[in-house]
């Protein structure tokens, strides 16, 4: 149960940072680094999520469902 909650929280944070980047891009009109910071966080969180999922599969906490077999 906890791994699914953590994955969902990561996805929500990624979506929030994507929206924040869009908002800062529209509001600031390129005058500040807030857009770059928000999108950098999004990329970092996405990479961390991929690593966590791979570690979860490797350790056996997460199990792939086997679509395509």
Instruction: Give 21-58 pLDDT, tens digit per residue.
Output: 999 999 988 788 899 999 999 999 999 999 999 999 99
Residue 67 lies in a domain: no
Which domain does 28 fall in, by range?
2-58
Residue 47 lies in a domain: yes
**Burial state string for 11-42 with b = 16 or more CB within 10 A and e = fewer than 16:** eebbeebbebbeebeeeeeeeeeebeebbebb
Residue 10 lies in a domain: yes
Structural domain total, the chain: 1
Residue 54 lies in a domain: yes
Q: What is the pLDDT of residue 68?
A: 62
pTM of the model: 0.82
């Amino acid at each position: 149960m906890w791994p699914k909650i953590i994955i969902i929280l990561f996805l929500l944070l990624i979506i929030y940072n994507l929206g924040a980047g869009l908002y800062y891009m529209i509001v600031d009109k390129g005058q500040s680094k807030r857009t770059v910071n928000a999108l950098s966080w999004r990329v970092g969180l996405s990479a961390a999520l991929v690593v966590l999922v791979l570690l979860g599969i490797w350790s056996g906490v997460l199990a792939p469902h086997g679509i395509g077999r």
